[in-house]
Copies of this chain bind each other. A is one copy, B any other.
């Protein structure tokens, strides 16, 4: 057992040092690593496989609403980036500039895209002439660059992977509807498939995307009580469209400016999966998104019939589209169990001579270690059943955690005190001024996460200045 212990011991206990626990899990589960290019990450096979499942699943949801995929250039000319005033102010300080191409200095420098609004606008300026050309519902899966100063696996790096959706519409209402529709898709995907409970809402003025009229967000709570912005959907109105002159002839033959949206979800979400569900033994993956859902571990596999049955089981499970593998390495069963746990594989199936005598196998759930003795000919149906229950349990457990870690405060002192003694979010009223928002963050360390769609009326007064309150805000610390 000493070897097995050693394996798990590589992971710092979650409640001892959460940040260290996080990087240990990422490292031991081989999800992602620092590259020797400063500030850039390597997405390793185990981490990238999670991203592939996220992509496939989300992409399907997008396409069901009429979205099509495209690919636009990785480089943006400086003059394009500068066309929308707020946007360039937001992004120019953190882009990387290409100044030389094929040994020649460039006439105009090009930045590696930090996001692609301006490229889509430039395209639509040429593509759109009539209301018949609308709406355009485009999306792309790509990488973007932002010159960050610190690096943390999945959470912060100079390059990250994401999807960016961009749409234009004939009316303000239709664009607004699309903005909310895409937030709902994120919400459904993250809650249903990643088993992560969320708070939905809109961002305050200062937290909005550079150039947006409204930014909607889904916010998740990590196990240390911090907030992680998990997906955003922006409504631009006609801001970009006016700067880029995207006009169309409406049905009455009048020129109108289009209304626009954009929405994105990135590899950050993998950080959320780790920090919402992981435990002291490593990663815990929700069955729906796990690259490997079931690992078969033969015990005493030299005994007659064990390997044969194990392999037969593998084929049976695969045939039912259950993502299954088998561990045939020369390690001890204990070591193999630990490895499967570190990787967060939802179910492991132990199959040995004793099981075979009884005509059963043992199925073990990763999240709560519950064991099931299951008859050999019932494994497939039982696996499906357990995975469904596990997916729901994981969501419910996280939802309970979220709900029980949101505190109400009506004074700054109370807010500060509650944040010092508890991990979690604060619900508090706010007057709407940026000054108060900043002051609250300075004093308590918690920034505004969002004005939730379900606002409660906690009091009449702003928690900071005492003036008339405008909105209830969810406040939380973040990464």
List the interface of chain A (C-beta within 8 A of B).
33, 35-37, 40-45, 48-49, 51-52, 68-77, 80, 93-103, 109-110, 112, 119, 122-123, 138, 142-143, 145, 147, 158-159, 161
Say yes or no: A48 contacts B69, CB within 8 Å.
yes
Say yes or no: A37 contacts B112, CB within 8 Å.
no
Say yes or no: A69 contacts B42, CB within 8 Å.
no
Bound Cα distance from A257 to B461, whole angstroms = 70
CB neighbours of A161 from chain B (8 A):
71
Q: How far is the CB of A74 from chain B (nearest CB, A)?
A: 6
CB neighbours of A96 from chain B (8 A):
75, 98, 100-102, 110
Pick the contact of A49: B69, B94, B112, B159 (CB < 8 A). B69
Say yes or no: A123 contacts B71, CB within 8 Å.
no
Bound Cα distance from A94 to B76, whole angstroms = 19
Say yes or no: B102 contacts A99, CB within 8 Å.
no
Say yes or no: B48 contacts A70, CB within 8 Å.
yes
Among A74, A100, A142, A145, max chain B CB count under 10 A is at A74
Q: How far is the CB of A432 from chain B (nearest CB, A)?
A: 32
> Across the two chains, which residue of chain B brings its CB closest to A149?
B102
Copies held by the complex: 2
Among all A-B residue pairs, the 6 with the closest Cβ atoms: A102-B147, A45-B68, A40-B73, A43-B71, A97-B100, A101-B147
- On whether A35 and B93 interact (CB within 8 A), knowing A45-B68, A99-B100, A112-B98, the answer reads no
> Across the two chains, which residue of chain B brings its CB closest to A146?
B102
CB neighbours of A102 from chain B (8 A):
93-96, 147
Bound Cα distance from A161 to B73, whole angstroms = 10
CB neighbours of A112 from chain B (8 A):
74-75, 98, 112
Q: How far is the CB of A403 from chain B (nearest CB, A)?
A: 36
> Across the two chains, which residue of chain B brings its CB closest to A158?
B101
Apart from A36-B122, A48-B71, list 17 A-B contacts with CB within 8 A: A36-B80, A37-B73, A37-B76, A37-B119, A40-B73, A40-B74, A43-B72, A71-B161, A74-B112, A93-B102, A96-B98, A96-B101, A97-B98, A97-B101, A98-B98, A99-B100, A101-B147
Bound Cα distance from A76 to B42, whole angstroms = 13
Q: How far is the CB of A51 from chain B (nearest CB, A)?
A: 8
Bound Cα distance from A122 to B40, whole angstroms = 13
Q: How far is the CB of A197 from chain B (nearest CB, A)?
A: 28
CB neighbours of A45 from chain B (8 A):
68-70, 138
CB neighbours of A75 from chain B (8 A):
37, 40, 96, 112, 145, 159
Bound Cα distance from A101 to B157, whole angstroms = 13
Bound Cα distance from A100 to B99, whole angstroms = 8
Bound Cα distance from A68 to B44, whole angstroms = 9
